[in-house]
Chains A and B, each alone.
Chain A
C-alpha cells in the first residue's frame, strides 16, 4: 500500500466521471441510487479511484462533526486519536462498516468519529468553530504521517477507495445510508498511485468537490491558496479547488455565484458588455482574486449542507448535463447517468461554460446553510 507522500510526490492528471442526485424537498434517497447512476459511465473510470458523498446521512449525530479517517498503520491511528482527544469530545468512535469484495483490496484502517470541539480550547485560540475544526483537519493531513482525514462535516460523509465506483459503493454498503443529496466520482488517473486518499470527493468541513478535468492554472492556484494557510499535500487539482472554494466562501464570505465568478470568471469582453451593477461586481471579483481563476477543462460538483453547485470551466471543455424531475435534480458527466435512474426527466440541459447551477433545499426544510447564495 502506498501512502500519502507517494501520491503527493508528483502531480497526476486524470479524467473522470461525476454524478449527483438532489432532492429539493429533503426526501431521503438511498445510496443504492447513486451507484446505479455511475454504472453506465463505467468506461470513464479505470478502477483507480471511486467515491461518494452523502448529505443528511447521520441524523442521529447531526450536530457532531463526522470525521472519516484513513490510517496507513496503527501508529498513525494512535497519534491522530491522541491529537483529536486533546481538541474534541468524542460522541462516538467506530470502524467504518464495509463488506469484503474481491475488487477492493489493500484496505487502510478506516475509522469514523463523531466529534464536538472542546470550547475552552477553541476560545483560547480565538477561532470560530469552523476555523478550529478546519485547522485540525489540515494539521492532521499535513503533519501526522500515515493519517488522512477525508471527511469532516456535520451530518454528511465521504466514502472513497481505489476501485471502480460501483464496487466502492458496495464496499461501503451505501444501501444502508439515506440522504437528501449524493455526489459520486469515478477516476481515470493517467498514472497508478493506488492511494485511497487520492480518490474523490475531496472534502473540508461540509464542502465536498467531485471534479472531472485537468486545470492548467494548477500551480498558480496552488501557490496562491497555500499563502492563506492551506497545504496542498496531495498535489491534485481537486484538492486545490476544494481549498479555493472553502477560502472564498467561508473566509472571504463570497456567495456561491460570486465564487463561480472568481474561479470561472467571465471573459473581459463579456464583463464589458454587462449592465451595471453586474459589470463592476464581476470586474471587482476578477481583479481582487485574479490568481484564483481556474483555467483548463473542468466540470465540478460542489456539495455543501443544504445544496449543490455545478460548474463548468468558462470554455466548457468538459461535458456536464443537468436533469430535473419534480423536486429531484440530477447532474452528471453524461446524460445516460441521469436517464438510467430517471428515464423521463421533465427537463434536461447542458449548462453553459462558467454558468453555475446552484440548487438548494426548499426554504421549508433548510437547516444551517452557511453558504450565502
Chain B
C-alpha cells in the first residue's frame, strides 16, 4: 500500500569488489534483510527490514558492508520532521501505540555533560592510586540511629542488613524474558567475580542461577512473576519495583511468543501466555500500603536482607523518596528518564519522567533537610554511561549506581533499539535458541568484568586527583562539581556552583 511505504532510515552499502557472496550476512540476520539473487549470484538487501544492529557488518569476513543514514528526505520542515511524519503514517496504518526499546534517545539536556570535576593543586596533594590505598568498597543499607554498648563498654553491632559492594556499580534489573538465558548467565558470573550484584528483574530466578544468589538482587514487581519464599531468600537483597525510568506509570508486557518452557517455569505462568505486569501493584495504592509490602518481604526473609524500593524519576520524586525512606526501605533506587527497557510505548519513553541528575540532587537534598539521609542508601540509574558519570553521581549524593544499557553494550548490544521484536542478532534481547547461543556467557562475563574493572581504575584516578582516598568522602561532596552552561535555577537544583565561581 503506497500510504504505508516508508523509505528505510538506513541504507546498506555493499562493496561489490569485496563481497564474495559467502552468505554469512544472510545467515546472521534474523530480520531477513540479506538474500542472494539466485540468477546473478550476488547479494541483495531489503533495507526496510534493517534495524542497524551491525551484526552483518561486524561479521562480514570481507569487510564489504557498512550501514549509513539515508539522505532520502521529506521536504524540510522544522515542525513536521521526517520522524514525526513517519510516525503518523505508521499509526494511521496500524491503529496501535508506537513501541520502542532502550532509553529515551531525544536531545534533552544531559546534565552529566554539564558538570565538571575538581582536582587538587598546591594546597592539597592529589593521591596516586598506584602507590596509596584507594577505597571504592561500598555498603548499601540503613545506618543505625542510636549507639548501644554492652556491659564491657563495647559498641553493639546494631547495623541493619547491608549489601557489600567492591565497587559502587551494580547491574540493573533486566528480566529473564526481556533478555536471554545467556545474558543472565554472563551478568550473574560477572557480578560474582566483581564482588557486586546483578538484578533478576521481574522475571523470577532460573533454577540454574540460584548458586549465584549471594550476588543476586531478586525483584518483586507488580506481576509478582516467579515470587515465592525460596526466591526471596535466594537473593542478597529484595527489590520492590514500583516504577521504571523508561516507562513511569505503566506496567510491562512480555508477549506469549517469548514464554517458552524455561521462562514459563521461571515466571510460574503457562507456556505461551502473555506475562502482563499491571501498572500499579494492586496491593499498593498508597505509601502505607508500600510499608506493608516492605515488611511482608522482610518477614519472609527474617529481617536478614535489605529491601530496595525502585521508583522512576518523576516530578515530585523528592517527596516520594522521603515517604519511602520512612516506610522501612533500606535502599531507594531511582531510575531516570534515560533508563532502558525491553519495550515501552514511544510517547511514554520519550516524554514522561525527568533526568536522573536533577532527581538525584533533589532527593539527596530533601532527605538531608529532613534528617533521614542515613536511613536509606540511594542508588541511581538511567543513564550512567561512563566512570565520569559515576563520579558525578556519587558527588551529587548517590551511594552507588545501576548500569543496564552500558552492561548490554559490553555484551555486544549495538543499541538498535529494537528489543521489542525479540530478534536480537547479538543473542541478548531474544529467546530464539539459535540467536541466544550467539552470546557466549563466559566471553560476556569477561567483557563485563573488563568494563567495570576499567571504570574502577578511572574512578580511583579521579578520586586521587581530588585528594580523596575513600568513596564515602566523595558521596554528596558537591563542592567537587561545577556546572558549565547552566542557568541559576539548574545550578540551585543540582546544588553546585558554576565553573569559575
Could you tell me which A residues sit within 8 Å of B by CB distance?
Answer: 11, 13-15, 190, 213-214, 216-221, 223-224, 226-228, 252-254, 258, 265, 267-269, 277, 280-281, 284-285, 287-291, 293-297, 314-315, 317
Contacts and interface: CB of A to CB of B under 8 A. Distances in A.
Contacts of B137: 268
A11 to B, nearest CB: 7
B144 interface: yes
Given A281-B154, A296-B468, A220 B132 contact: no
Interface in B443-475: 466-470, 472-475
A317 B128 CA distance: 13
A46 B8 CA distance: 71
A216 B466 CA distance: 7
Given A293-B470, A315-B469, A284 B159 contact: yes
Nearest to B478: A219
Interface of B, helix, strand, loop or mixed by DSSP: loop
Given A217-B468, A226-B368, A296-B468, A280 B477 contact: no
Contacts of A297: 124-125, 467
B155 A317 contact: no
B123 A287 contact: no
Contact of A220 (B147, B155, B369, B476): B476
B272 interface: no
A313 to B, nearest CB: 9
Interface of B: 120, 123-125, 127, 132-133, 135, 137, 139, 143-144, 147, 149, 154-155, 157, 159, 162, 368-369, 371, 373-374, 466-470, 472-480
A254 B144 CA distance: 14
A288 B155 CA distance: 11
Contact of A223 (B132, B143, B468, B476): B476
A269 B132 CA distance: 12
B476 A219 contact: yes
Contacts of A214: 123-124, 467
In this complex, the member of B149, B162, B474 whose beta carbon has the largest number of chain A beta carbons within 10 angstroms is B474
A227 B132 contact: no
Given A216-B120, A223-B368, A267-B133, A291 B157 contact: no
Contact of A284 (B155, B474, B475): B155
Given A214-B124, A288-B143, A297-B124, A219 B159 contact: no
Contacts of A252: 147
Contacts of B127: 315
Nearest to B495: A223
A216 B472 contact: no
B125 A220 contact: no
Contacts of B159: 284, 287-288
10 contacts: A13-B123, A219-B476, A219-B480, A252-B147, A254-B147, A268-B135, A285-B155, A291-B476, A293-B472, A297-B467
B449 to A, nearest CB: 21
B154 A277 contact: yes
Contacts of A15: 123
A288 B144 contact: yes
Contact of A11 (B374, B474, B479): B479
B124 A296 contact: yes
A317 B473 CA distance: 16
Contacts of B373: 224, 227
Contacts of B124: 13, 213-214, 216, 296-297
